[in-house]
Amino acid sequence: GQQLNQSPQSMFIQEGEDVSMNCTSSSIFNTWLWYKQEPGEGPVLLIALYKAGELTSNGRLTAQFGITRKDSFLNISASIPSDVGIYFCAGQLWASNFGNEKLTFGTGTRLTIIP
Amino acid sequence: DAMVIQNPRYQVTQFGKPVTLSCSQTLNHNVMYWYQQKSSQAPKLLFHYYDKDFNNEADTPDNFQSRRPNTSFCFLDIRSPGLGDAAMYLCATSSVRASTDTQYFGPGTRLTVL
């Protein structure tokens, strides 16, 4: 199935550094979502974006919905050890007939914090 | 707390032996999804229920079936598990009553096939 282009694929950073990752698509979405997944667990929703240009923060996390509706970025400021995990972006296109709102996932960004 | 619950968290089965994974939700969401996720990959949608309407993805093998007896519960049946079916299976729910609703995932069931 279709996947979004997510970069970088992996990041190795030191505690306290800022992190930036992004997703791009060839088609538009009207919702962008960012999930974090820790080993052995399901994805946890971090931020949901519903409007083109929207900038939303959740604690140290900030995400933006691109103006073209084809991209989004996620920033994490002052990283801490518990930020370790895989971050997935996901695009959602709402149809007029509710019930078919599938998520298109990015390929994931694996974040590792070097002690 | 309202949540998506999956049981068991870890399931071991033998090659060819049927297995059932379960998902329940207290969110009263009308859509329930089953995903398969293999190591370091994004979740792959297998099928979803919109209320009682079953929607199968075109590339989901016939080996995978699902049942939704009521709003709260949904089951994934793997009729004859193969080694390639070893994966994390994720259940998710959404409300789809408003365009701001989105999908919430359970903790997953890790399936091992011996």
Q: Per the CB < 8 Å rule, is B43 touching A98? A: no
Rounding to the nearest 10 degrees, give the CA dihedral for residues A110, A36, A78, A67. 100
B108 interaction partners in chain A (CB closer than 8 Å): 40-42
Q: Per the CB < 8 Å rule, is A31 touching B102? A: yes
Chain A nearest CA to B80, separation (Å) = 24
Q: Per the CB < 8 Å rule, is B42 touching A105? A: yes
Reported as a single tens digit per residue, the pLDDT across B69-93 is 999 999 999 999 999 999 999 999 9
Nearest CB to A33 within list B40, B96, B102: B102
Residue A30, pLDDT score:
86
Burial class (CB in 10 A: 0-12, 13-18, 19+), A9: exposed
- Between CA B101 and CA B91 the distance in angstroms is 16
Nearest CB to B44 within list A1, A88, A94: A1
Question: Which of the 8 DSSP states describes residue A96?
Answer: S
**CB atoms near residue B19 (< 10 Å):** 19
Reported as a single tens digit per residue, the pLDDT across A29-39 is 989 999 999 99
